[in-house]
Structure 1
Amino acid sequence: MKPKHQRLWLAGLAVLAIAGASGLALSGLKDQASFFYAPSDVKKQGLPLGKAVRLGGLVEAGSIKRAADGVTLDFVVTDGAATTPVSFKGIAPDLFREKSGVVAEGQFQPDGGFVATNLLAKHDEKYQPPELAGKLHETRSLKQ
């Protein structure tokens, strides 16, 4: 076999191996393709029981209830179309508050509730550290 034909065979085998690996990876991720479920997604598709998932949305106003033990939180996540009750035991992030974005990692329960093992608070794109915001304000006043 000529070296040219040998290189073509090796290149073809490499392309097939990459395509096979990509196909296996995509088939394994087909159910987990979304970064998180929204409450309306859960309402439409049903509860993904027995799987670790992420639930995302906004913390509903007036829904945060703190238990007497100081570490248990009960709140409601909404996306405007549906709501899901969430229970979390642990220390909440500093940015966690009503009407703010949250992604909760955990599992759905048969009763429709969600038990979170981790909370990720999201801030809006307008957030700036106080030090930077002050310097931007000074810079704007100097330009004028």
Structure 2
Amino acid sequence: MTRKQKRLGLIGLAGIVLGAAVGLVLYGLSSSVTYFQSPTDIVAQQIEAGQRIRLGGLVEDDSLDKSGGSVIKFRVTDQAEAIPVSYKGILPDLFREGQGIIAEGYMDGNGVFIADTVLAKHDESYMPKEVYETLKEDGHWMEEEQAAAAEQSSNVN
């Protein structure tokens, strides 16, 4: 065997080992990744009662009901379907009607999603007030972005 053949064999073996390592990592991660499902997906799949899932969508306008004591009820929609949600706990600060959320929990036998965790999403243009003010003072802020960030900052506070 020549040096060239040995080198090619070693490179091929390294490629096989690297490919196997990547395959094992992807296989290991596939069982721990949880994607959220939209209300349309849940209605189409007819999720079994008790099966843990993540529900993602928008909080439907005029659906928030806090009159049940410590239980908060609302509906999550994707503009095609809506799922009623029941949650016992403290809602995130960014939670409001029309806002995107992800709720973790399970479906009960009556078609109500029982959430044990609610995460509110914000848009990518969100910026903390302190960062916005620092950029403004340093002159690194564009005028049209400045107006949008000022409105966003005032909505947060």
TM-score by length of 1: 0.74
> Deviation of residue 34 (structure 1)?
5.4
- Find the aligned partners of 2:124 and 2:25 in 1 and give their Cα distance: 34
SS of equivalent residue, structure 1 residue 124: coil
Gaps of 5+ in 2: 1-5, 143-157
Q: Which amino acid aligns with 2:50?
A: G
1:1-144 matches, cutoff 5 A: 21=24, 25=28, 29=31, 35-69=35-69, 71-138=70-137, 139=139, 140=141
Contact kept in structure 2, 1:47 and 1:112, CA below 8 Å: no
Q: Which amino acid aligns with 1:50?
A: G
Count of residues in correspondence between the two structures? 138
2-structure distance, mates of 1:17, 1:133? 46
C-alpha spacing 1:20/1:93, structure 2 compared with 1 (3 Å):
closer
Corresponding residue number in structure 1 for 2:3: none
List gaps (5 residues or longer) in structure 1: none
User: How many angstroms apart in 2 are the aligned matches of 1:137 and 1:15?
Assistant: 48
Counterpart contact for 1:72–1:90, Cα < 8 Å: yes
* Runs of 4+ with deviation above 4 angstroms: 13-26
In structure 1, C-alpha distance between the alignment counterparts of 2:23 and 2:136, rounded to whole Å: 55
Q: Distance in 2 between matches of 1:131 and 1:23?
A: 39
Cα deviation, residue 43, structure 1: 1.6
Question: Percent of aligned positions with the same letter in both sequences?
Answer: 42
Is the Cα–Cα contact under 8 Å of residues 34 and 54 in structure 2 kept in the other structure?
no
